[in-house]
Structure 1
Amino acid sequence: MRLSSVFILFCAFAFAAILSVATAWVAAEAVEESSERAIRTELDRDALTWADVDTNGLLVFLIGTAPTEAARFQALSAAGRVVDSARVIDQIDIVDSEGIVPPRFSVEILRNDSGLSMIGLLPAAVDRDQLIEDIRRAVPDAPLSDLLEIADYPMPDGLEEALSYAVSVLRVLDRSKISIEAGRVTIKGAAENEDARRRVEADLARRADGNLRLALDITAPRPVISPFTLRFIKDAEGVRFDACAAPTEDDRAEILKAASAAGLEGKLECRLGLGTPTNDWGMASAMGIRAIDGLGGGSITFADADVTLFALEGTDQSLFDRIVGELETDLPDVFVVNATLPTPPEAAPQGIPEFTVTRSPEGNVQLRGRINSEIARQTADSFARAAFGSTTVRTTARVDETLPANWSSRVLAGLEALSRLSNGAVTVTPDALTIIGNTGNQNASSEIAGLLADKLGESELFEIDITYQEKLDPLLGIPTPAECEAQIVEIIGDRKITFEPGSATLDAATRDIMDEIAELLQLCGDIPLVIAGHTDSQGREEMNQQLSQDRAQAVVDALRERRVLTASYEVRGYGEEQPIATNDTEEGREANRRIEFKLRQPEPVEETETTLETIEESAPTDETSQTDGAEEPSDGQN
């Protein structure tokens, strides 16, 4: 009986022990599953999908490969929010950053009537807020949509410079697409006309640093050409176009193919424009060029629907008749052909009448030779003075009433053609009009050929020999922003920009300096210029700062009155903060009262540490400084 009781008691204790162990095991499993599930939820909430969780009792193991050390720490923090951090065992690896190829960083900035938008990927090292602020400053009235993404990789070489350049040119084109990569900027946009396109391309090119690769695709509406002119010549001097216009790319290709077959070599130019009298212009022009080639030489001029052909002297009559007849038959009905085969003179006449106009590189113009009436002489003189300036013209032409009736109109046409050249000469004879000279306009030959064809008519012979020179091209002579800054220094020299004492009113003696600076800045165009005002330390600091701001603004207003575009200029008033001399003497205070002109530089990147060696090795920043120099009282008024 006693043995049975002991056995029963033993079984009860065994059952209780087994039940306790089972309960503990179930509880541990529940804790493990609950912890694992809660930590997974927290990791998912932080988008840490690379991390995984494993549990063993109360211990939690974090495993996986983190892209960065920061991501590893973020995963540990997420687990620590669920369980005691002492229970978290870190088994996370870090990706070898040296083996990772960084992504291709690029940005596209789109500007249109709706505003601006930025799309792309930038490294975390870029100051995104500063970039947006710079863009808003460049185009202040345009809404900005920021769709940029950031990746934590090092800054590639050349990307920061490309971004700064892109921001600086944003205001140049109202409709544009700017694609930015490290060391490269691609700009696509539209200009109002061909001249504006050339001006914009020159401006964009001069802004670019030498290490920056720049690709430009600026389009412009095709100009209206009137008369629509093509003039092709083949003679002893060679094969050339004096003028070439085409309505489409296909027409231009057809024209240039015919010219090449006729012997034209080198770079072939033909303007695209509007105003052609027929859709068959390219085909008709190519026929005319082949006709001149078949004749062995001569000239052909298309001026709208009028076609004027001159064969070379001595051309076989039967060949002339055949080729001209074929041309008249094959050309579309809209064209009217006037063909001439010059007759060799029996003997050269003596004393051929001639009228000559010359324009020197210095701008002096002389009219000499013969003209057909006193009224015609006065008309030519008045026309020349209006075109070239009354002080540069000298007329010594004499009256010869035996000259042809159309002599005067040919003289005026020659004067108008010469006015489009930088220098040159026009010669009028009974049989021809010849113009030679130099120009900075790449389209001058085409424009003058069209002018003479329109003024002289289809039966007149004229010759053009015009040379384009880059040094005369005003668009290629635009100084760089740095050159503009340096030239302001040269303009001011030892003179001073002065104000009336204690005020922001420019002194009358400053008018000449402002006129010269304005003339330079009109040529410089849209540059990031800062105009800063400074005072001495006399008076209250707040008053000095406001006075310096008002004086800098007065300079900008004076430039605007002189028709300078100042939208890209920034006005800053520093008051007494940046003296360049001591304020203990009148000479020093006068030096500190000044206006500074300098280019706006990109915001410097803040360094975490600055050593003494770094400071000593840094070169000082050059500034263009100009004192206002006014003799002012020292009673608190700067």
Structure 2
Amino acid sequence: MRLKSFVIIIGFFSAAAGLAYFGADKAATVMEENSELSIRSALDDAGLDWAEVEADGLQVLLFGEAPSEAQRFSAVNVASSVVDGTRVADKMSVKRSVRVTAPHFSIELLRNDSGTSLIGLIPAKTDRDAILQSVAEKTDGEVTDLLQTANYPVPKGWERALRFAENALANLPRSKISISADEVVVKAITDSINAKRRAEADLRRATPAGLKVILDITAPRPVITPFTLRMVRDDEGSRFDACTADTEEARREIMRTAVALGISAEAKCTVGLGSPSILWGDAAVLSMNGLAQLGQGSLTISDADISMLAAEGTDQAVFDRVVGKLENDLPEVFTLHAVLPETGQEGEGPLDFNATLNEEGDVLLSGRINDELTRRTTESYARARFGANSVEMAARIDEALPSGWGLRVLAALEALDQLHDGTAHVTATEISVQGNTGIETASADIARILSEKLGDGADFSIDVKYDEMLDPLANIPTPEECVVSIQRLNAANKITFEPGSATISADSLTTMDRIAEVLQECPPFQMEIAGYTDSQGREEMNQSLSESRASSVLSELMNRRVLVSGFVSKGYGEANPIADNESEEGREANRRIEFRMLTNETPAEAEEGLESEADNSADEATTEVTEDAPTDEPD
């Protein structure tokens, strides 16, 4: 009986323990779920939905990647407000912060007649004072500093772009130059078309490799006098010898008509000032269409005078109809002079005058001239235009020449002056000019000259070819070509110095003159003039002497009006000998000046490179220096 009671008691307690365990487990599970749900709801309400919650008994674990340390701290606070803070375990991480991006460094250089302003953001390590000093030297005016700085690394290419922009500013008195590390935008206004072309050519030549340069250079409309349009139609087709328009709209209308009549769409028509009427475009289009109806011939409009010369053999009825309609349709200010040559009309004998200009610039005048006074006048006029020693007069006197012959001869010579080489042929009925030129507008200029000098009804033909190689603006030498030219000049007559001094000898001044002439035709570029001596004498004295000699060469170039803003002089003393200092020949070779190009780097950077890589001569052009004494130091 006792045993049975004991078993019952044990069973009762075991059942009670099991019920208690399962009840406690159920209660803990409910508490975990309630805590987890309450905290997740609170986090969502606080906008912290990135946080994850997991309950483990009484402890609450927070997981997730917080956008910032402040967000992580907020999540812990929210959870602690729901349950006891001691129960909250922070298992969260913080998102790695993105590295702060460096600002965009840029400068705008604004230059006008009142001075130059610098606006923008530059790296703190950029030498601000050096920029201001360089701009002041190149513009020779007041400089306003509106720059800001930021302490971030200097971007690659920044110094290169800055130096290019500073040099560009020197020759553009009305400009805005925007600078960034990889791009320079140049906007400027020049005084003339030629100044615009020269500025563009100089800037393209000076553009460093790897730098994007955008040019937006404009020039005022040229004043054209007389305002001229000349169109020719013959067996070879239609062409313009000259074309001008007073507005862009008129130019488009003229070119639209020209293309329809067979003229190339690439033909140039200059928009300029000087039109005699706002209806110039209308008059030009009417006259061009009239010539097309005649078939062949020439049309010359000079200011308000219109000359139309029909081809020989043109039907008289067609000529009368076209001319009559054109006379009625033209605006009132314009007058028409139309000529139909008589069939079979020929001059008596070879009445002509010829002027021939060869490639060397010599001019031969032959054919016939009116009288002795006209011959002397013609010869003097030719010498004034082509050079006193370049003209040979071989024309004979013929008093039977028609009136106005001398005027036609002088007009032909003025037209010939637009050519590099060619001929001008004068007859009683026509002037023909043909040859090669380096002036893009030569054909138009010749047409204006002849129409102005010869008047209405004049017949002339122009066959002029533009050659870019003859254009002094398009054919500017490269810096490399300039250095090679300096080498050749020095090879023919080496630069020498007075013994033991930095004074260039009198015999070498001619060489300096020729080097200066070469550099005056070169685009802006950077160059180092380096001086060297032999090893005779004290090292300190040789160092000083080499610096003085390099500086003397730079000064001589400056005195000859060479732009030296990109040049630096530096002395290296007896360093880097190129020959044995134990012999007289070796010492003479070591006494030298070297010209080094510093393309795409600052002078300071170049000097450091030269000191660390003295043997590197990839971009080096050497000019030797000889002197009358065997040593650099006086006894």
TM tier, smaller: 0.7 to 0.9
Map 1:583-622; keep pairs closer than 5 Å. Answer: 583=581, 585-601=583-599, 602-603=601-602, 620-622=617-619
**1:505 is paired with a residue of what secondary structure?**
coil
Q: C-alpha distance in 2, partners of 1:616/1:201?
A: 35
RMSD of equivalent CA atoms: 3.6
1:239 is matched with 238
Native 8 Å contact 2:527 2:566 kept in 1? yes
**2:195 is paired with a residue of what secondary structure?**
helix
Native 8 Å contact 2:534 2:631 kept in 1? no
Partner amino acid, structure 2, of 1:277 = P
Q: C-alpha distance in 1, partners of 2:587/2:95?
A: 65
**1:234 is paired with a residue of what secondary structure?**
strand
Measure how far apart 1:112 and its partner are.
0.8
Q: C-alpha distance in 2, partners of 1:545/1:590?
A: 16
2:557 is matched with 559
Partner amino acid, structure 2, of 1:455 = K
Q: 1:192 to 1:572 in 2, by over 3 A?
A: farther
Measure how far apart 1:410 and its partner are.
0.5
Measure how far apart 1:277 and its partner are.
1.9
Map 1:496-575; keep pairs closer than 5 Å. Answer: 496-538=494-536, 543-575=541-573
Native 8 Å contact 2:532 2:592 kept in 1? yes
1:257 is matched with 256
Q: C-alpha distance in 1, partners of 2:538/2:604?
A: 33
Measure how far apart 1:405 and its partner are.
1.5
Map 1:333-482; keep pairs closer than 5 Å. Answer: 333-345=332-344, 348=346, 351-482=349-480
**1:442 is paired with a residue of what secondary structure?**
coil
Partner amino acid, structure 1, of 2:396 = R
Q: 1:635 to 1:331 in 2, by over 3 A?
A: closer
Q: C-alpha distance in 2, partners of 1:131/1:239?
A: 60
Q: 1:522 to 1:603 in 2, by over 3 A?
A: closer
Native 8 Å contact 1:359 1:366 kept in 2? yes
Q: 1:591 to 1:116 in 2, by over 3 A?
A: farther
Map 1:10-49; keep pairs closer than 5 Å. Answer: none
Q: C-alpha distance in 2, partners of 1:526/1:369?
A: 48
1:112 is matched with 111
Native 8 Å contact 1:138 1:568 kept in 2? no
Range with bigger deviation, 251-260 or 459-468: 251-260
Partner amino acid, structure 2, of 1:340 = V
Matched, 1:94 2:91: no
Native 8 Å contact 1:525 1:565 kept in 2? no
**1:263 is paired with a residue of what secondary structure?**
coil
1:632 is matched with 629
Partner amino acid, structure 1, of 2:470 = L
Q: Deviations over 1:451-496 (max 9, x none)?
A: 1111111232111111111111111221111221232122212642
Measure how far apart 1:421 and its partner are.
0.3
Q: C-alpha distance in 2, partners of 1:173/1:593?
A: 40
Measure how far apart 1:441 and its partner are.
0.3
**2:626 is paired with a residue of what secondary structure?**
coil
Q: C-alpha distance in 2, partners of 1:245/1:216?
A: 25
Q: Percent identity?
A: 43
Native 8 Å contact 2:190 2:196 kept in 1? yes
Q: Deviations over 1:200-235 (max 9, x none)?
A: 111111222464443211111222222121112222
* TM-score, L = length of structure 2: 0.76
Measure how far apart 1:183 and its partner are.
4.7
**1:628 is paired with a residue of what secondary structure?**
strand
Measure how far apart 1:567 and its partner are.
3.8
Q: 1:355 to 1:377 in 2, by over 3 A?
A: same
Q: 1:350 to 1:454 in 2, by over 3 A?
A: closer
Q: Deviations over 1:63-82 (max 9, x none)?
A: xxxxxxxxxxxxxxxxxxxx
Q: 1:212 to 1:623 in 2, by over 3 A?
A: same
Matched, 1:143 2:143: yes
Q: Deviations over 1:141-193 (max 9, x none)?
A: 5526353565868957x666545543443323223223345654332112221
Q: C-alpha distance in 1, partners of 2:393/2:498?
A: 50
Measure how far apart 1:569 and its partner are.
2.9
Measure how far apart 1:366 and its partner are.
1.7
Matched, 1:193 2:189: no
Range with bigger deviation, 326-335 or 395-404: 326-335
Q: Deviations over 1:363-399 (max 9, x none)?
A: 3322222222222223222322332234333332222
Native 8 Å contact 2:206 2:523 kept in 1? no
Q: 1:388 to 1:585 in 2, by over 3 A?
A: same
Measure how far apart 1:269 and its partner are.
0.7
Partner amino acid, structure 2, of 1:404 = P
Range with bigger deviation, 563-572 or 491-500: 563-572
Q: C-alpha distance in 1, partners of 2:617/2:569?
A: 22
Q: 1:496 to 1:246 in 2, by over 3 A?
A: same
Native 8 Å contact 1:243 1:447 kept in 2? yes
Structure number with larger C-alpha Rg:
2
Q: C-alpha distance in 1, partners of 2:152/2:95?
A: 18
Q: 1:351 to 1:464 in 2, by over 3 A?
A: same
Q: C-alpha distance in 1, partners of 2:559/2:305?
A: 49
Measure how far apart 1:587 and its partner are.
4.0
Q: C-alpha distance in 2, partners of 1:456/1:309?
A: 14
Q: 1:431 to 1:621 in 2, by over 3 A?
A: closer
Q: C-alpha distance in 1, partners of 2:552/2:253?
A: 58
Q: 1:534 to 1:407 in 2, by over 3 A?
A: same
Q: 1:310 to 1:55 in 2, by over 3 A?
A: closer
Measure how far apart 1:253 and its partner are.
1.6
Measure how far apart 1:118 and its partner are.
4.1
Q: 1:263 to 1:635 in 2, by over 3 A?
A: closer
Native 8 Å contact 1:111 1:174 kept in 2? no
Partner amino acid, structure 1, of 2:499 = P
Q: C-alpha distance in 1, partners of 2:381/2:472?
A: 25
Q: C-alpha distance in 2, partners of 1:91/1:152?
A: 30
**1:491 is paired with a residue of what secondary structure?**
helix
Range with bigger deviation, 320-329 or 298-307: 320-329
Q: 1:467 to 1:285 in 2, by over 3 A?
A: same
> Unaligned stretches of 5+ in structure 1?
1-48, 61-88
Q: 1:625 to 1:377 in 2, by over 3 A?
A: same
Partner amino acid, structure 1, of 2:422 = G
Q: C-alpha distance in 1, partners of 2:632/2:442?
A: 63
Range with bigger deviation, 575-584 or 303-312: 575-584
Count of aligned pairs:
544
Native 8 Å contact 1:590 1:631 kept in 2? no
Q: C-alpha distance in 2, partners of 1:634/1:364?
A: 49
Measure how far apart 1:91 and its partner are.
7.0
2:307 is matched with 308
Q: C-alpha distance in 2, partners of 1:375/1:272?
A: 41
Q: C-alpha distance in 2, partners of 1:363/1:369?
A: 20
